[in-house]
Structure 1
Amino acid sequence: MSNPPRRPNIVFIVADDLGWADLSVYGQRDYETPHLDRLAAQGVRFTQAYSNSAVCSATRFALITGRYQYRLRGGLEEPIARAGQHIGLPPEHPTLPSLLREAGYTTALIGKWHLGSLPNFGPLKSGYDRFFGNYSGVIDYFTHKPGVGEQVPRDLWEDDVPVERVGYYTQILADEASAYLKRQTAAQPFLLSLHFTAPHWPWVGPEDEAVSRSITDLFHYDGGNLATYGKMVRSLDAAVGQVLSALDEAGLADDTIVVFTSDNGGERFSKTWPFVGQKTELLEGGLRVPTLLRWPARLTPQVSEQVTITMDWLPTLLSAAGLQPHPDYPSDGQDILPALLGEREPWPRTLFWRYKAQGQRAVREGDWKYLKINDNEFLFNVVVDTRERANLSRRHPERFERLRRQWALWNEEMLPLSEAVFSHGVTPDIQADRYVPERSGRVLSQGPEPS
């Protein structure tokens, strides 16, 4: 009797606030991202990949559980920030790392957690064997001090023990991940979740330690520019290149699935062309994210038009490992592997979003998108009209009403936003009370959310 095939390793890389066109392979022309461009050439480049939310911790709930974040109390906070010790990812909830660990994987998270604070929540309570990184949503790149409301001098941990490191955080994470990969062998499959904080604010490049130490407010409203942002993205690209090289040196690249994506759309200095909107907005620029996948043993290089969303990764990666989601916690995502393997054509999806600011609602069904911001409602064909300018609600009233009803029915299945605490005291700056398609997407909140 032959042995079953070895399950693939998984390296899942998440950038923070990376915009749709911040990589040269997606359209950036002000600088180059050669390592991520090479990853794209070697694997799958997605053209219709979405995040589960327009902010980060909500998307991270969806990533780790494979479900709409609004099924969980912590997913209502959008994002978790100073929400106290009682809001986070319940340790009893099955997760991608816990399901893989039960199947024999060793698991590690290096980087950002942002799914609840110690002592009640944390990576080691939710399926990871090892953790190195930050628990909160943001830390300074050189001082490693945390963001608003945190009571620790620095938010840098090894498992549940505070540690110190010297250097630029993006590079520190690359070094930790590379060292982890060099310790792995073909004897046991592994999941490495590598969650960078770059290029999230504060706006500090790898040569800007003096700037870092002068910052008093990590929101950094008085800092940053396109040149600095470019340095941050190039540093991220170099870090990914270092990690991929470590995987090659360990002789494990061929049967390792590598995924690269972002937790939501870009921020102040990001490039989102051809989309409008950005982080905190349910316009395409706030939701569409650059996404790459490489699995040399099984997948040929390709550009995929398959519509996908963050919560698809749990069923897709479990399927690649010959596993299924927990029967008591069925995934809201779908296994997209058949489309990538050429076993079936890309299929249309129906996806839902909501966001507390401006009462935003959105549905994408096939090529069509229903969008509501304040009292303004729209119907767009986002394949033809990528910039969401032509409101077709009057031309297609039946489709418009159907999508509106679909969103209401979906919303009834989710926890109500009224249960959210919103105790972190952050309210978006409102530039305009009404969304006007002819303007740029930047009409909802000038400042960032604390994610």
Structure 2
Amino acid sequence: MFSISQSYKKPNIIYILADDLGYSELGSYGNTFNETPHLDRLASQGIKFTNFYAAAPVCSPYRAALITGQYPARVGIVDYLRPNSSERLDTTHYTIAEMFRDNGYYTGIVGKWHLSGYVKSGAPKEALPDKHGFQEVLLSENQGISVGPYWHPYQFNLDIPKKMEVEHEFLTDRQNLEALEFIERNQSKPFFLYLSHYAVHTWSTGKPYLVDHFRKKKGAGTSPASGNNTENDPYKNWPEDVRATRNNPHLGAQLFSIDEGVGMIMDKLKSLGLDKNTIIIFTSDNGGETRVTTNAPLRGGKSMLYEGGVREPMIIWNPQLFSKNRIETARLVNFDFYPTFMEIINAKKNTQQLDGISFAKLLKNPEYEMPERTYYWHYPLESPHFLGGRSAGSILKGDWKLIEFFDTKEEQLFNLKNDAFETTDLAAKNPGKVKQLSEELKQWRSKLGAKTTVTVKN
């Protein structure tokens, strides 16, 4: 049993999620171009995970897994939801927010939801965060999420009034402000805050002075202004360098703004005396877009089941409760958070089917060994993703990882112990292992009723 000292109240939980942030974009994960001093401090004072996985290589199924504690294939959301989609996270699920709420927590979301189509975009129905246990919903979308801009008025929700006293209100700054105000308002009771950033989703447009800072750095990527922005207006889509494929100054600027917010949150917690009793998690929903970044040394990126598409940076911080400056290599998946949080707060049992397992004991004890298990991914597509991902499934068992492509029936086999970067396909040399893993993957799909063919619902 995970136990909290009696001198502490139930810990506050802040889950900070970046959008499309690749594995190798933080300083603490080896990046030398981007600047993330506050996140690096979070890692040095907390636990940095090197084998943390997303349940899917794109947005909506990751979020479905986080919110329900289930495989996306069980939930039925296996690809990102289009604005006019009839699909949505069904309210019959007992969500992580409802779990916190029913155990005495006040719950809030600041930012991206992306678990529903939107009535304003032509969807027949919608189910937004307020229908899933979030008592405060701030800066969340009510119509399609697309390619920016990151400046007010926000096209994903034109009902949001401007709040900050600046000429050009920047979305990430506004999200940081809303998070700080949520903490201030709710300091007297335990809270769960889901700070779900829209950044660094492309096209990543950063604040001009920060973009200029990164442009001047050695090795900065470049690209011409394009689209309908030939005048190179920094407050419109497609300004100069936004399409840079490596060391993207706009991505660097956006990530810098996320990092600033992490620093402000840590300072706010300390000023309110909440730092000893708050757990902060920082991670990403899937690999970075290979059009604007690299996930090297991992292979691939967003929309792909290679490691670069599903292995994420993840940091957990609370020096009072957990180890400091620790690197943890245990394999975990984002749907493990639901049972982990339940154990940490000693939640009442519920009947929600959970596919994850708690790693609460691992947080307190570096010597704790997580039980061995097999990991599965299911990503069926009607046609290839525009970033290059293909309809596929995957299984990871021990050192061996098999990717099965549904479109061509091709199977690729990798030994991650000897080849963590998936450079050498060993399928032809190991037909027995391919057959074994393929059969296990097929049995898992059958158990969940998951189909390898799909028709996109509108």
State whether TM-score is above 0.5: yes
Q: Give the secondary-structure state (helix, strand or coil) at the position aligned to 2:315.
A: strand
1-structure distance, mates of 2:17, 2:393: 25
Q: Tell me, yes or no, if the aligned pair for 2:242 and 2:249 is still in contact at 8 Å.
A: no
In the alignment of these two chains, the number of paired residues is: 404
Aligned partner of residue 48 in structure 1, secondary structure: strand
- Offset of residue 222 of structure 1: 9.0
Q: Aligned match of 2:272 in 231, 250, 264?
A: 250
Q: Aligned pair 1:63/2:66, yes or no?
A: yes
Per the TM alignment, residue 32 of structure 1 is displaced from its structure 2 partner at its CA by: 2.2
Which residue in 2 is equivalent to 1:286?
309
Which amino acid in the other structure matches residue 392 of structure 2? Q
Matches within 5 A, 1:387-398: 387-398=421-432
Quick check: 1:18–1:265 contact (8 Å CA) kept in 2? yes
CA distance in 2 between partners of 1:113 and 1:325 (Å): 26
Amino acid aligned to 2:151: F
Where does residue 113 of structure 1 map in the other structure?
A: 113
Query: For residue 130 of structure 2, what is the aligned residue in structure 1?
Result: 124
> Which residue number corresponds to residue 177 of structure 1?
179
Residues 337, 358 of structure 2: 8 Å contact kept: yes
CA contact (8 A) 1:325 1:331 kept: no
Partners of 1:110 and 1:212 in 2: CA distance: 25
Shift of the 167–278 alpha-carbon distance from structure 1 to 2, 3 Å rule, reads same
- In 2, Cα distance between the equivalents of 1:126 and 1:189? 19
CA contact (8 A) 2:149 2:236 kept: no
Does the 8 A contact of 2:45 with 2:317 survive in 1?
Answer: yes
CA distance in 2, matches of 1:63, 1:212: 34
* Residue 360 of structure 1: how far off its partner (Å): 1.1
TM superposition shift of 1:212: 5.3
1:311-350 Cα distance to aligned partner (Å, 9 max, x none): 01111111111126632x2210110122222262244331
Please, which runs of 5 or more residues in structure 2 have no aligned partner? 120-124, 212-228, 385-389
1:197 aligns with 2:198: yes
Q: What letter corresponds to residue 283 of structure 1 in structure 2?
A: Y
Report what 1:349 is aligned to: 373
Q: Which residue in the other structure is 2:419 paired with?
A: 385
SS at structure 2 position matched to 1:134:
coil
Contact between 1:65 and 1:311, CA under 8 Å: does it hold in 2?
yes
Is the 1:182–1:249 Cα contact (8 Å) retained in structure 2? no
How far 1:423 sits from its partner (Å)?
Answer: 4.5
Q: Which residue of 2 aligns with 1:236?
A: 258
SS at match of 1:231: helix
Displacement of 1:383 in angstroms is: 2.8
Q: Distance in 1 between matches of 2:370 and 2:350?
A: 25
Displacement of 1:56 after TM fit?
A: 0.4
Change over 3 Å in CA distance of 1:122–1:264 after alignment to 2:
same
Pick one of 145, 151, 160 that aligns with 1:142: 151
User: Is the 8 Å Cα contact of residues 350 and 366 (structure 1) preserved in structure 2?
Assistant: yes
* Counterpart among 403, 406, 413 of residue 447 in structure 2: 413
User: 1:30 maps to what in 2?
Assistant: 33
Deviation at 1:53, TM superposition (A): 0.6
Per-residue deviation, residues 382-401 of structure 1 (Å, max 9, x unmatched): 13201212222344333221
TM-score norm. by structure 1 comes to 0.83
Alignment of 1:271 onto 2:294 = yes
Residue 360 of structure 2 corresponds to residue 333 of structure 1: no
Say what the alpha-carbon RMSD is for the aligned residues: 2.5
Partner residue of 1:449?
Answer: none
- TM-score if structure 2 supplies the norm length? 0.82
Amino acid at match of 1:396: N
Partner Cα distance (2:234, 2:112) in 1: 19
Specify the code of the residue in structure 1 equivalent to 2:66. L
Most deviating of 45-54 and 200-209: 200-209
Shift of 1:363: 0.6
1 CA distance for matches of 2:234 and 2:53? 32
**Within the alignment, does 1:99 sit opposite 2:107 as a pair?**
no
| 1:224 maps to 2:235 | no
For 2:189, the equivalent position in structure 1 comes to 188
Q: CA deviation at 1:231?
A: 1.4
Q: CA deviation at 1:134?
A: 2.6
3-state DSSP of counterpart to 1:352: strand
Give identity over the alignment, percent: 30
| 2:346 counterpart (301, 322, 325) | 322
Match of 1:366 in 2: 398
C-alpha distance in structure 2 between counterparts of 1:366 and 1:106, whole Å: 39
Does the CA contact (< 8 Å) of 2:87 and 2:457 recur in 1?
A: no
Contact 1:305–1:346 (CA<8 Å) still a contact in 2?
no
Taking a change above 3 Å as real, the CA distance of residues 420 and 110 of structure 1, as seen in their structure-2 partners, is farther
3-state SS, counterpart of residue 260 of structure 1: strand
Distance in 2, matches of 1:340 and 1:112, equals: 28
Deviation (angstroms), 1:145: 4.1
Q: 1:103-159: per-residue Cα shift (whole Å, max 9, x none)? A: 11000000101111356311111010000123243442014444xxxxxxx5156xx
Return the letter of the residue paired with 1:245.
D
Question: Contact 1:113/1:133 (CA < 8 Å) preserved in 2?
Answer: no
